[in-house]
C-alpha cells in the first residue's frame, strides 16, 4: 500500500486520541526561561526512566532545547488551562508573572503542575517536520488533582465517577 494520507485527515484522526497537556521548559544559554505547550509527550522506558517530546522544526524554542543539557516536562492540571493557552501563543513573554522554581540545569518547574519530570537530554533525531528529544529522567514528582486533557481540538475534563 503506497498511498499517503493528507495532513488534514491525519491531524483530524490524531485529534481523536485524548492526550494530557504539558509545558516543556528549558533554560536558554542567556539565562532566560523558555517553554511551550506540548501534547507530544510520552514515557518510553522505566529502566532507565526515559521520556520523549516532539518539537516542530519551526518552533522558536527549538534552538534553546537543542543547546540545553536539561529540559523539564510539567504535566498540567485542569486549573492550568490559561497557562496552557499562554505557552501555546506566540509573540509574548510566556514566563511573565508565572511562578516557577529552578530544577536540574536550572530548568523551570511550574508551580501547581500535576507532575514534573527533570530530564537530561540523551538523544535527538529527525522525524519529518519535528525533532524528537529523548530525555533520561533525573527527578520526578507528582501531586494530586485532575488533569488538563485535549481531545478533538479542544480542552476537556475527566467526568467524575
135-142 mean pLDDT: 97
- pLDDT at 142 exceeding the cut of 70: yes
The mean of the pLDDT values for the chain is 93
**Structural domains of the chain ordered from first start:** 20-148 (2.30.110.10)
Contacts of 98 (CB under 8 A, 6+ apart): 83, 86, 110
pTM: predicted TM-score of the whole model, two decimal places: 0.92
Calpha distance 156→76 (Å, rounded): 12
Instruction: Tell me the H-state helices in 80-158.
Output: 81-88
- pLDDT tens column, 2-47: 568 888 898 888 888 888 999 999 999 999 999 999 989 999 999 9
d(CA 133, CA 62): 10
Task: Give the pLDDT mean for 58-83.
Answer: 96
* Half-sphere exposure of residue 26: CA atoms within 13 angstroms, side-chain side: 24
Amino acid at each position: 500500500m503506497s498511498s499517503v494520507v493528507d495532513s488534514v485527515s491525519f491531524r483530524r484522526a490524531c485529534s481523536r486520541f485524548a492526550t494530557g497537556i504539558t509545558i516543556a521548559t528549558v533554560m536558554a544559554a542567556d539565562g532566560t526561561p523558555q517553554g511551550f505547550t506540548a501534547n507530544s509527550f510520552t514515557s518510553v522506558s522505566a529502566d532507565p526512566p526515559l521520556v520523549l517530546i516532539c518539537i516542530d522544526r519551526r518552533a522558536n524554542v527549538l534552538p534553546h532545547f537543542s543547546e540545553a543539557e536539561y529540559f523539564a516536562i510539567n504535566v498540567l492540571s485542569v486549573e492550568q488551562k490559561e497557562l496552557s493557552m499562554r505557552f501555546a501563543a506566540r509573540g509574548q513573554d510566556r514566563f511573565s508573572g508565572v511562578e516557577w522554581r529552578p530544577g536540574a540545569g536550572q530548568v523551570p518547574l511550574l508551580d501547581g503542575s500535576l507532575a514534573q519530570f527533570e530530564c537530561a537530554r540523551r538523544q535527538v533525531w529527525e522525524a519529518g517536520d519535528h525533532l524528537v528529544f529523548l530525555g533520561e529522567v533525573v527527578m520526578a514528582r507528582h501531586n494530586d488533582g485532575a488533569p488538563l486533557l485535549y481531545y478533538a481540538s479542544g480542552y476537556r475534563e475527566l467526568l467524575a465517577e
